[in-house]
Amino acid sequence: MRIAVTGSIATDHLMTYPGRFVDQLVAGKLDKLSLSFLADSLEIRRGGVAANIAFGMGCLGIGPLLVGTVGADFADYRAWLEAHGVDTSGVRESAVHHTGRFICTTDADLNQLATFYPGAMTEDNDIDLRKLPGPIDLVVVGASDPEAMIGFTRQCRQAGIAFAADTSQQLARADGARVRDLLDGAAYLFSNEYEGHLTEQKTGWSADEITARVGVRVTTLGKDGARVDRAGQPPILVPPLTDVEPREPTGAGDGFRAGFLAAVGWGLGLERAAQLGNMIAVQALEAVGPQDYELKPGPLAERFAAVYGAQAAAEVSEHYS
């Protein structure tokens, strides 16, 4: 199964604030908010939702096709991704813009304040999926330039290519009509629990109506694991890992998608997909930087078996060993 991953490609500037953001908020004054937080660390890492997802899939041996626009400063990043099994032939280079930047501060409660500069990503709307090399079985439409996301979704419908909707960071700025257009008919819909409720609010569709309009609805639940819904079927509830030592949350959701889609690419069932999603999300959560974890088959299988059982681990190890 050949999977193309669209979405942002960026450099992450990750800072930590030792206090709690909420302690600095003054009731009744939030309409005049002016705050500055003194960070005690800065890490500059490779990131962007599409690159993060592709990296995880590449590490699992799937060989995804990364699709997006970058700047002339991307050479080292490209070499890194290719060394980890990512096909970058679908990445185009802008003549005028730098690669995108994600600037994020995380507090002691793992709450985050972030700003994203799109840079070259604003040119993603110039990409024609139908001209990409080789056949494509599934396109992940990740958070990118809003017009490009709409364009990719419509191109998939026109070409009869299955797509996975992953609005994530762009959900907040999209109106109801745009959100409906982005997810209607998707083979998969990914969101966290909050984004799921916001999707229902913006579309005006109930949870059941959304599930009926997509093939598989996948909701990450943080410390409660993940939920997979299909119309007319009982939900699949997958428990989380319990022995987790979180360091930095950026990219954990992308790690989940990488694991889930890798299992789909292997032909495994939805329960295994969500289990592997949880596993890769934790690998990212326990690292500083969304692409700074390492997947070793032996330790991964042992940890998988400890949480989800020997049979589940054996089914995954059959494809990644």
Contact (CB, 8 A) for 241 and 303: yes
Q: Using the CB atoms, write b or e for 213-228: b if 16+ within 10 Å.
A: bbebbbbbbeeebbbb
Beta carbons within 8 Å of 62's beta carbon, 6+ residues apart = 3, 85, 261, 262, 265
How far is Cα 105 from Cα 98, in angstroms, rounded to an integer? Answer: 22
Known active-site residue 254: yes
3-6 and 65-70 beta bridge pairing: parallel
Report which residue type is found at 261. Answer: L
Q: How far apart are CA 75 and CA 61, in angstroms?
A: 22
Q: Which of 229, 243, 254, 292 is catalytic?
A: 254
User: What is the C-alpha separation between 61 and 319, in angstroms, rounded?
Assistant: 9
Judged by DSSP in three states, 275 sits in: helix
> Can you state the percent helix, strand and coil of the chain, rounding each to 5?
45, 20, 35
Residue with tokens 């959900």: 171
Active site residues: 254
